[in-house]
Amino acid sequence: MDDMRPPPRPPGFQHLPKKTRKRLKREGLSIIQPADLRQLMDDRDIRETKGTGREGPFKLSDDGIVLMLCWDGKEPVFTQLLQIADWEELCGPVRDQLKHIICWAYSSTDLMHPSPGCSLLSSCTWYLSSNVHPYMLGKDESAQPRHTCYGCTTTDALEHIKRDGVPRELSGYRQFSCRKVPPSVRNPNIHIDSYRIFDTLQEALAHLPKQPIGATLIEFSDLWKLGEEDIYEGPLTAGSVFLGYHGVVIIRIMRFRGKLVAICKSSNGTRVGTKGYFRVSLSALYMVLCCGDEKAEFVRATPSPQPLLSCFICPIYNEPEPQPIRKRKWLPWKKYHESRKRRQCLSHGDDQVASSSGDVLKSKHKKENKQKKKQRSG
């Protein structure tokens, strides 16, 4: 989580048109005119928003605590990715984290399925929950009563797997109590070589044909109300309330109902979204304008416009060691000619000539040349 916190509600909010403020209070979402943005943002931020190829109006999303500016921007141009293979089967079945706050453990282990020689058996999320940050057990106030699970990041989980490994998920222990020690704690035999972090959505999508990508999805209450034919647009949905951030895995992108969307695997069972998968809009953008003290610790500041997906990462297997650049060795003409003749002799099976000294080769070549001259003169 970023150390930067969003600012408090700006005084200029009270100078917005009354219609805008009334609609925000009633529906939680309202269109705002570009001229009114100066009441909430400085000139630099306004230039940032206008440079995203906006399509449609600017909108304000307000749940009474978190105020966001949101809009539809220009879609990433990755038409070749529309035809790539689907990573759904290789990422394994959709699991259910129940009421544990360990989506980061599920997303990190789902990323490891397409590794070389890896079976479709899942890695143990219970083990990660107990061992990535053991000092956090029972200290996260957002956990359910009597739960010891805690919020974390996919980056920390992959760093632990790289350093200490993770065991397989034992059959019969997919649902567990986070207050107990996992039975597989003594066998963390699965490792990764490293992991790669992508700074932008474009970089992550460019890598998607090679393997699935882990990401953080900004979570609004509308996410858990999606039907099988719906697209998740975050703050662009009226009445949707900010809840936090959710770890997912991007398995492919597609065009659905004319919009470019990312198909994201969740860890909340098959009853949410489309059998456990969400269609996330790739054109929706947002900026956090302000946040009350109640959620200031949990809301990440956005110095620039952000897509609904962020914090992109993937594991790396069998990372090749850097090799020194070898310079080509140039031979003198005579030595090159001799080595070339020697290779010709080997290709014709003349081992004796090829293994002899350079003088013998020269004498043989001279005899052959004399014979050729005689044949030509004759």
pLDDT tens digits, residue range 3-29? 577 888 888 899 999 999 999 999 999
Quick one: 31 exposed, middle or buried, by C-beta within 10 A (0-12, 13-18, 19+)?
middle
Task: Please report how many Cα atoms fall inside a 13 Å half-sphere around the Cα of residue 259, on the Cβ side.
Answer: 18
61-65, 128-132, 168-172, 353-357, range with the lowest pLDDT: 353-357
Encode pLDDT of 136-164 as tens digits: 999 998 899 999 999 999 999 999 999 99
Per-residue pLDDT band for 220 (boundaries 50, 70, 90) equals very high
Q: Is 365 a residue whose pLDDT tops 80?
A: no
Q: Is 331 a residue whose pLDDT tops 70?
A: no
The single-letter code of the amino acid at 325 is I
The single-letter code of the amino acid at 293 is D
Q: What is the C-alpha separation between 213 and 200, in angstroms, rounded? A: 12
Position 96 scores a pLDDT of 92
**Angle, vertex CA 226, rays to CA 220 and CA 232, nearest 5:** 55
Q: What is the mean pLDDT of the chain?
A: 83
Per-residue pLDDT band for 181 (boundaries 50, 70, 90) equals confident
Contact (Cβ atoms closer than 8 angstroms) between residue 282 and residue 260: yes
pTM of the model: 0.80
Position 269 scores a pLDDT of 92
Per-residue pLDDT band for 197 (boundaries 50, 70, 90) equals very high
Position 19 scores a pLDDT of 93
